[in-house]
Amino acid sequence: DGGITQSPKYLFRKEGQNVTLSCEQNLNHDAMYWYRQDPGQGLRLIYYSQIVNDFQKGDIAEGYSVSREKKESFPLTVTSAQKNPTAFYLCASSTSSGNTIYFGEGSWLTVV
């Protein structure tokens, strides 16, 4: 089945450590996105990429980094510079000509 796969589903990180969340899609979509969700805050855009080897900062990019070396993959690294990383992270994708964005199942990151 086509879709967006995020892993791991649950991740625990010690303070000061970097951690990478995986996002893979087999929908042949050009654009991919990372959102962060906090309780009562809705979703906020971290980074997005329209094409391989190119990406743009969203509203809350500080403390995060991404890469887009392959069309189907858009990993997100949460660095130690992110002061409050505990959240639910959602990856999404869309075609370049469409305006409907599809989401993965999400990854829970907890700092311990």
Partner 1 sequence: GDSVTQMEGPVTLSEEAFLTINCTYTATGYPSLFWYVQYPGEGLQLLLKATKADDKGSNKGFEATYRKETTSFHLEKGSVQVSDSAVYFCALSDRGSGAGSYQLTFGKGTKLSVIP
Contact footprint for partner 1 (CB under 8 A): 4, 6, 30-31, 33, 40-43, 45, 48, 50, 56, 58, 90, 92, 94, 96-106
The nearest distance, CB 97 to partner 1, in angstroms, is: 7
d(CA 71, CA 29): 8
- By beta-carbon proximity to partner 1, the closer residue of 73 and 103 is 103
The span from the CA of 42 to the CA of 46, in Å, is: 13
Nearer residue to partner 1 within complex by CB, 33 or 64: 33
Q: Closest CB to partner 1 among 84 and 96?
A: 96
How far is the C-alpha of 36 from the C-alpha of 43, rounded, in Å? Answer: 6
The phi-psi region of residue 30 (left if phi > 0; otherwise alpha if psi is between -120 and 50; otherwise beta) is alpha
Q: Cis before residue 75, ω within 30 degrees of 0?
A: no
**Whole-number minimum distance, CB 76 to partner 1, in Å?**
15
4 vs 78, beta carbon nearer partner 1: 4
Give the shortest CB-46-to-partner 1 separation in angstroms.
12
Task: Return the number of other C-beta atoms located less than 10 Å from residue 91's C-beta.
Answer: 26
